[in-house]
Chain A
Amino acid sequence: MADLSVNICGIPFKNPIIPASGVFGYGREYERYYDLSKLGGISTKGTTGTKRTGNLPPRVAETPMGMLNSVGLQNPGIDAFIANELPHLLSCDTVILANIAGSTPEECAEVAAKLDQTDVHMIELNISCPNVKQGGAAFGTSCTAAAQVTKAVRAATKKPLCVKLSPNVTSITEIAKAVEAEGADALSLINTLLGMRIDLRTRRPILHNNMGGFSGPAIFPVAVRMVWQVANAVSLPVIGMGGVMSGEDAAELMMAGASAVQVGTAIVQDPYAPLRIIDELNDWLDSNGIDTAAELTGSVRAW
């Protein structure tokens, strides 16, 4: 049994596997399958200043080795999250990353300020949602906007602040550096790639939003590449994600530079995916004579 524990921004995680924001809701649907304390952490559904209804359906399309979604940040708003969901999540004996988003830097800061008054462990600022018109990816695709929103949120909270980056940019390292300069404590990447599918019969895009976020094993190599680039460009810890389906995928992303790994699409397919990935990571470490998961981080021997 390897030591799976990792530490990010001074927060101990019992293992490096975290359900990614969006696929896991606020955890309740998964409690009938297993005890959430087995998870390294939980990144909660992206929460905004006020309730959002989300985009028109259809919101999902399948593609070989992946899927597209256009949920559009449907959530009950930060006050309902803090009142109805957070107390239960904090009782689950796992690290809670509150994923937040907003249309303006002020909205993001207001949400962060409210969370600052709670016992949530970490704030994950989403500047990369591809499915909303304002905020979201608009923040994450320009260095100036990314810096501005990070600065506003940084001023609103002393909680460890992780900023979630978009892959839909020319240079993710430039965005990462801009966010680091404004006081982010960690980075998480990659959010989904912008994609599109068309129904040949109707000539309509399958997603009502026309475009959506492309995720799943098809994007894993992009995630490995971007995690590697960003981990080498900044001195912040990186939480990696993007198409992780197995313990070996998690090990690979950690070698590229991730301190922990989020799992998204794998959970849409199989509710047990995070537990299986934790077991597989442990088995892989054991069978390779590696004592700790943490020593994988950044251990790639790049040419």
Chain B
Amino acid sequence: MKQDKYTEKLTYRVSSMEQLNAAAWSMVIDCPECAAKAEPGQFVNLLPDGAFTLRRPISICEINKEKGTLRIVFEVRGKGTKALSELRAGDTVNMLAPLGHGFTLPEKDTRVILIGGGIGTPPMLPLAQYFGSNAVVISGFRNQDAVILQEDFAATGAKTILCTDDGSAGRFGLVTLPLEEEIKAEKPALICTCGPLPMLKAAAALASAYEIPCQVSLEERMGCGIGACLVCACRTKDANGDEQYTHVCKNGPVFNAEEVIW
């Protein structure tokens, strides 16, 4: 992209790039002013180089305010994320960040259960770093080859439970089984989750059944990322319980589960 004084404002340096598995990449971006403002659950909106019209929204996986960096972990899903995966340390990237409404967090010494599914797992890491040993992190993947971030989660001091759909790593089966066990063992004050819609729905249903507050991070095809273009609509209930369309980029991506119309 042509460099001008406006584009410069959105241009940041990639400080490291690492491939985590066949599809997933970890990118650290040097962006002190963004890192200073970022909160768990927010996202960045990256414009890949090339003939792309839309930015790619990617959730924040790590916020390092001292180093002034944000880390994102994403999967190559199409041409745009492929182009982003070809960036290397020292390259620049066009980014709007931090965007969106993140998780609303209680005190650090609160028992929480964090549930990540597949590429929805990365935004759970800043939460695990915040709650440390008070957190239980349950992550679910298709199979062993898709597993990411388990060492990062272990390093936070959180209890980690790994599940795979085919049993090739960790426990066989869905994240909802260990979720219910953990709830029964000791009821948490909060459940936070990000991942495929059926998983979010199931986690929210369990949270509701046990009367535990639950915050879910949603995904939708997105445009501007700042709440103006209104394309990333999701159905939610307003204060009166009336159905409305709110927007993942501005009102979310994190919503209270009871607001969401599934």
Q: Do A and B come from one complex?
A: yes
What 7 A-B pairs are tightest by C-beta distance, nearest first?
A272-B6, A60-B231, A25-B228, A29-B228, A59-B231, A58-B221, A57-B233
Interface residues of A in 250-268 (CB under 8 A from B): 265, 267-268
Whether A265 and B53, one on each chain, are in contact in the complex, defined by CB atoms closer than 8 angstroms, is yes
| Interface 1/0 per residue, B213-238 and A, CB below 8 Å | 00000001111101111111110000
17 pairs, CB–CB < 8 Å, chain A vs chain B: A22-B229, A22-B230, A24-B228, A29-B224, A29-B228, A45-B230, A54-B233, A58-B220, A60-B229, A67-B53, A217-B53, A265-B53, A268-B224, A269-B55, A270-B6, A271-B224, A280-B4
Q: Is the CB of B221 within 8 A of A59?
A: yes
Q: Which listed residue (B9, B222, B234) contacts A60, Cβ 8 A? A: B222
A-B pairs with beta carbons under 8 A, tally: 108
Supposing A74-B233, A269-B47, A270-B7 touch, asked if A60 and B226 sit within 8 A by C-beta, the answer is no
Q: Report whether B245 and A23 are in contact in the complex, using a CB–CB cutoff of 8 Å.
A: no
Size category of the A interface is 35 or more
A53-B244, A57-B234 are known contacts. Are A62 and B52 too (CB-CB below 8 A)?
yes
| In the complex, chain A residues 54-77 whose Cβ is within 8 Å of any chain B Cβ | 54-67, 69, 71, 74
Of B7, B9, B10, B229, which contacts A23 at CB under 8 A?
B229
CA–CA, A65 and B53, complex, Å: 6
A279 at the interface (CB under 8 A from B): yes
Q: Is B185 engaged at the interface, CB distance under 8 Å to the other chain?
A: no
- Docked Cα-Cα span, A146 to B52, in Å, equals 35
Interface residues of A (CB under 8 A from B): 22-25, 29-30, 45, 53-67, 69, 71, 74, 206, 216-217, 265, 267-273, 275-276, 279-280
- The size bracket of the interface on B is 20 to 34
**Given A265-B53, A270-B7; 19 other pairs, CB 8 A cutoff:** A25-B227, A29-B226, A29-B227, A30-B228, A53-B244, A54-B230, A58-B220, A59-B232, A59-B233, A60-B221, A60-B229, A60-B232, A67-B54, A74-B230, A206-B221, A269-B47, A270-B6, A275-B6, A279-B6
A92–B226 Cα distance when bound, in Å, is: 20
By beta carbon, the residue of chain B nearest A60 is: B231
Which residues does chain B contribute within 8 Å of A30, judged by CB atoms?
A: 226, 228
